[in-house]
Structure 1
Amino acid sequence: MRSTDTSAAGTDVRKAVTLALDALKDADPQGWEAKAGTLEWTCWETIEHLADDLFTYAARFGLTKPPMSAMLPFRTSSDRSGGPANVISVERASGPEGLMTILEACGGLFASVLDAAPSTTVAYHVFGPSDPAGFAAMGVVETLVHTHDAAQGLNLEWSPPGELCERALQRLFPHVALDGDAWETLLWATGRTALPDRPRLTEWRWYGTQGG
């Protein structure tokens, strides 16, 4: 049964990022160039992309009136063809410790901005304009699933708390039946695994607009 609490906030983002940091901190320093799960990105690129997501989400709510029809006009760049196009990049010489520092910083920035933003503020996302609670759920999903991707490539165990997954599913995936393990359902909803009664998705999306 789904809970009636579908809200997410900065505290959820902080918790997800803290859990991700704890899971990734002991990774083999030589393993970060491995492919991240089913993605075409490396583990380093995937976590760098995650930090970039959290940073650019935060930037939307730094504006009094966020744009409703377009992304912010940041200049993006990629280190290689096929790699993620980011606004921010991590200095490679800083190593995994530097990467974790940037992830923590971007997560903390996003959480702080969310908690300071009026609940009525709405900002643009390609999957539908959303309020701070919706963006908080997006940040949780991005953090949980991209940590999963990197953990696969780094041969680490990773299984986040069910309540974080459930709130994100309730807020962003109202079309997905939650009748089993919330983490496995979130992985299925984001195209990362198959379930016994549901083949793996080749296309997926969430619905950020309140009410789906």
Structure 2
Amino acid sequence: MRDMGGERVQEAVAGSVALLRTAAGKDWDTVKAARSEWSCREAAVHIAHDLIVYAGRLAARGRTAHVPLTVTPDATAGNEGLLEAIETTGTLFTATLRTTPRHVRAHHPCPYFSANADGFAALGVGEVLLHTYDIAEALGLAYEPPAELAEFALTRLLPHVRPGPTPWATLLWATGRGTLPDRAPVTDWHWINHLVLPAGRLTLESLTPAAAADLAAGGDGGYTWAPGGPYDGTREASGMLLKAYEAGVHRPEFGVFVLVREEDDRAVGALGFHGAPDEEGRVEIGYDLAESARGNGYATEALRALSRWALARDDVHTLLATIDRANLPSQAVVTRAGFVRATPEEERAMGERREADGPLHVYLLSAPAGSSGAPTAGSSGPSAGAVPLRSAAAPRPGC
């Protein structure tokens, strides 16, 4: 998966400036941008402001708060001067994207408080497209950017939004700027950066639909993999995530997480859910590892971290893992992570639902007794799940 962030930002800025330059002789000071309290001039300044702020945050290499940067154009700058400011800040942002290592993250508040270069590139593209559209509409200009630009923003920042007839129409609808057949108008929205969780020697990075599509098609998803990775289960799970996204049922926080080794920024496997929790707060979990990464405790470390995160939520009460009976290494992993064997009745019920997977053991991990609505370990029945990630040590689907 080639890094396209800098190119996409450059393309978005060039298209915006080229269009707005055709209206540089119009009044931008008193005409309000569409759906905004800003004038067209203020909206143009906002585009330049976003681009330089995003560049500053990435250049700060991981600050946990806003970098105090802003754009204040010269009072004598006309509309052409504002366009030059957008071009300049776009060039600076593009250069920053191209020199920022993949693992570097910087502060952004919505909603998980950080983004990497790919995420910031998508933020920049989204802001340029949408505010250019607002200005253009107010000035009587027709604007429709290339589909690839709208899709770049959608698949990284709006992963819960079901694709519509075209990426641009979907982006406009999802941000309250347009309509789509059979969909209610959107009145409240925000960008969603992908979730990242610390896990000791690893970092768990949730897959965006863009990365999942690349992995499902045989690519690397934008990661450098340890030898033997990505394993087949990672590609299968990526395909399931992509199908959920296309159906509009993908919950990003209950998707697939890539296990990235801190010491060398290499992906060593994947861990994830088989969908959102059911009405009783039960959700199935699975994992796999590249062959070269097995035997180092990575799976246990990652499973513990994701389990803690999930069971701290109000909508998750019990985690479920189903493992081939002959897969002793995977059973040892879930046991070390605190899971316990389900009752024979629960295992029979799961076996009936997953007959094609062969004989299975079912393991459960529940929220501590006394939590709101939380069952005790082993008291919750298994839930149906999608095709699981393949187990780290088994050739058949398992935990």
TM-score (norm 2): 0.47
| Structure label with greater radius of gyration | 2
Contact 1:6 1:167 in 2 (8 A): no
Q: Deviations over 1:105-145 (max 9, x none)?
A: 00110010010000110011111311100100110000000
The 5 Å alignment of 1:86-105 reads: 87-105=70-88
Match of 2:99 in 1: 116
Match of 1:78 in 2: none
Structure 1: stretches of 5+ with no match in the other structure: 75-86
Match of 1:80 in 2: none
Distance 2:2 2:182 in 1: 25
Matched, 1:71 2:54: no
Report the count of equivalent residues. Answer: 194
Match of 2:335 in 1: none
- Deviation, 1:6, is 9.5
The 5 Å alignment of 1:27-46 reads: 27=23, 29-33=25-29, 34-46=31-43
- Deviation, 1:8, is 4.1
Q: Secondary structure at the match of 1:134?
A: helix
Query: 1:197 aligned to 171, 176, 182, which one?
Result: 182
Tell me which protein shows more strand as a share of its residues. Answer: 2
Q: Secondary structure at the match of 1:92?
A: coil
Structure 2: stretches of 5+ with no match in the other structure: 196-205, 207-251, 253-399
- Deviation, 1:197, is 1.7
Matched, 1:49 2:46: yes
Contact 1:16 1:143 in 2 (8 A): yes
- Deviation, 1:177, is 0.5
The 5 Å alignment of 1:43-192 reads: 43-63=40-60, 65-68=61-64, 70-74=65-69, 87-127=70-110, 128=112, 129-192=114-177
Match of 1:77 in 2: none
**RMSD (CA atoms):** 1.6
Contact 2:147 2:168 in 1 (8 A): yes
Distance 1:16 1:133 in 2: 15
Distance 2:24 2:173 in 1: 28
Query: 1:92 and 1:198, CA in 2 relative to 1: closer, same or farther beyond 3 A?
Result: farther
Q: What letter matches 1:73 in structure 2?
A: P
Percent of residue pairs bearing the same amino acid type: 39
Query: 2:7 aligned to 7, 11, 26, which one?
Result: 11
Q: Deviations over 1:39-82 (max 9, x none)?
A: 1111110010110000000001212x3213x21234xxxxxxxx
Contact 1:6 1:171 in 2 (8 A): no
Q: Secondary structure at the match of 2:76?
A: helix
Query: 1:7 and 1:37, CA in 2 relative to 1: closer, same or farther beyond 3 A?
Result: farther
Contact 1:121 1:132 in 2 (8 A): yes
Contact 1:6 1:170 in 2 (8 A): no
Distance 1:144 1:67 in 2: 27
Tell me which protein shows more helix as a share of its residues. Answer: 1
Match of 1:83 in 2: none
Mean Cα deviation higher: 38-47 or 202-211: 202-211
Distance 2:182 2:159 in 1: 18
Distance 1:72 1:132 in 2: 16
